[in-house]
Structure 1
Amino acid sequence: MKFWYQAKQQHWIKIILLLPLSGLFYLVANARRLAFKWSWLKSYRPPVPVAIVGNISVGGNGKTPVVLALVEAAKQRGFMPAVVSRGYGGKAPHYPFIVNATSQSSECGDEPLLIHQRTQCPVIVDPNRSAACKVAVEQGSDLIICDDGMQHYALQRDIEIAVIDAQRGLGNGLCLPAGPLRETASRLSMVDLLVSNGEPLFNAHSHLLQLQASGLRRVRDQQLVKDVTEFEAAIAGIGNPARFFDSLEGLGFDCKQRVSLDDHKHLSEEQHKELLEKRIIMTEKDAIKYRHTAGDEWYYLPVDSMLPDAFYQQFFSLLQEKIHVS
C-alpha cells in the first residue's frame, strides 16, 4: 500500500485505526517465533546447510538477484546447491513440484522459473518448505538456498540473509496492516548478513547489491537485440516498479508510458490486447509470464547481480563453520 511509504502525518487517521490490528499481528508473529525457538512447535532440520534469503517487509526487495548470485558462487566453489521456494503466484499440479524447462510460471511462480532458467540448478516449489528441502537432499544437493521464508520458522536454518530495498527502506516502520513489516526492525539485528539493494543503508555492516543490465532481449525467443532504445510502454510487475523505470531512464531508454502492476500480477486481457502490437520493455521476471503470448516487439532487460567480495567471504566463512560443526 502506498501510504506505508509516505509520511505518517499524511495518513495518521488511517494508521491510528489500523494500529490495534498491527499490535495483534506483532503479538501473534512474535509468539509464533518464540514457540519454534523454544521447541513448543516442531521444526525440521535438514541434513545439509540451509541459507535463507528473505526480508522483514512485504513485497519485492531484491531477494531473487541475491539468490542467483549465491547459487552461481556456490557452484564455482564446488557445491551442488538447490533452491526451495513457496512458489508464490503459482498453483502446481502437485507438491513438492520440481521446476523444469517446460514448467509454466502459472504452475511454479515467476521467481522459481527464472532461477531455474538462469542457473539450471534444482528448484523445488512447495508451500511446505521442509518437504521441498527433503526432495533437494534426495537429489544430492549439499546446500539449500531458500528464496524467501525468513518467517517460515518450521524450517531450521544455518544462515539468514535479509535484503532491504534502500529506496523504500522499512516504510513507516510499523507492522502489518498499518505498515509493511512482517517483523519489527529489531529482527534485523539477529540475521547473519544484511544486503542493501540499490544504495548503502544507514547500517555500516550492510553489503551493497547493485544490478547491472546485461543487454536487451526479445521475450519470444530470448535473442539479444541491439539499437532498440524507444518504446511505447514499459511494464513492471515487481515490488518496486519505480526502480525499474528509473533504471531505464538512466540507461537512455525512452518510454512513452509506464505500466505499474502489483508484484507477480499479469496484464489484464484488455491491457495485453492493447499492447500486443506495440513495442514494449519489461523486467526479466515479467517476461517469464509472456514467453508464449508476447508480441513480436516485446523485450525484456536482464540484470546481473553485483555484490562485494566481502559478502561472499563472510557467507562462505559462515558456511564452512556450520559444515565443520555438523
Structure 2
Amino acid sequence: MQNTAQNFAYTSLIYFHVYQGGYGRTCHSRRGRPDKRRDGNKPKPVVGDRGKAILESIDDDSLVIQSFRRYGAELDAKHDKHERIVKHSRDITIESKRIIFLLHTLDRESKEATVLKDAEARISKLTTTHFKAIAQELDGEDPYQYSKAYTSGMQEFIEAVTFYHYLKSNVLESWINIQKDFVYNVGESTNEQDGAEIKAFDENKQEKECTPEESAIETSSQKSHITTLLIPTDYFLGVGDLTGELMRKCINNLGSGNIEGCYQTSAFVREIYKGFLSIGNVAKEMSRKVYTLRQSLSKMENACYTIHVRGSEIPKHMLADVLSSSHDDMMDEDEGFY
C-alpha cells in the first residue's frame, strides 16, 4: 500500500511538472496574462530537474501506471472502432445518393421494372455489406455510444429505401420492417469444443446451480444474430428528407404530363406532414426538417392549385416551366398548429 501511494504521489507531481509547468505555475507576460506565441500555440510545458528525476524513477510495474495504460488502450480501441464505423457511414451515404439519383430516372413505364430491380439489388448489397460490418463492430458494445458515427449514412439510406418503396407500391416503409433487414444470423458456436461444452452444460444445468462461466457459455450459445440499431429518430429524419425527393418527383411528373401522379404525391406528403406535427420536436434537427417539409408541401400544393385553376389554359408539356417560373409566396403560418 505504501508503494502504491508513493507511486500515485509521483504521478501527481509529474502532472504538475509537465502540464502546469512546475507546481502549478505557467509562463506569464508583463501584464500578468498567460504568454501566447505569435503562431497561436500554447507555451511548451517546462520540465525541471526534479520532474525529470521523477520521470526516470517511475516504476512501470506500479498499479497506477498499469491502470492508465489500460485506460489508454481502451480509449484507442474505441476511437479506432468509431473511425471504422464513420468510414462505413460515408460509403453508405455515397451509395444511397446514387440510388436516389437512379430512382429519379424512373419516368417511363418501360424502364420501371429495370430501374426498380437495379435499385433493389443495390439496396440489398448495402444491407449485406456495410450495415453488416457495422453490426459486427457493434457486437458486444452499447450501440448508442456509436450511433452518431453512422447517423448520417443511416438517414440517407432511409431516404433511399422509403423512396424506393413509394415508387414501387405507393406506401411508406415502416421502421419495423427496415429494422428487420438489419438483423444478421451468426454461428451458434465457434468450434466443436465450444459446442461440446454447451451441450454438456445443457444436460447438467438441471442438476446443479449455474456458475458465472457456465452462464456466459449459455449466453454466447443463445446469441445467434447481430443487429445494426436503427434509432427511431434517424428513421424520422430520413423520412423528412424523403419529402424533398417526393417534391422533385411531383414536379417531374408535371413535366412528363402525369398530373394524377402529382396529386397523389402531394396527398402522400400531406399525410407525412400531419404525422410530423403529432410527433413534436423529439430531436435537435427535427424543427429544421419540419420546416423544409412544409416548404416542399407548399410547393406541391401550389402546383396542384395552379393545375386545378389554370390547367385547361396551359399545355401539359409547359406545366413544369410555368410552375418553376412562378414565385412562391404562399408560406403563411398555420394558426392551427403554431
TM class by shorter chain equals under 0.3
The structure with the larger Rg is 2
TM superposition score normalised by structure 2: 0.20
Higher fraction of helix: 2
Give the number of the structure with larger relative contact order, counting CA–CA contacts within 8 Å between residues 6 or more apart.
Answer: 1
Normalising by structure 1, report the TM-score.
0.21
Q: Which has the higher strand share?
A: 1
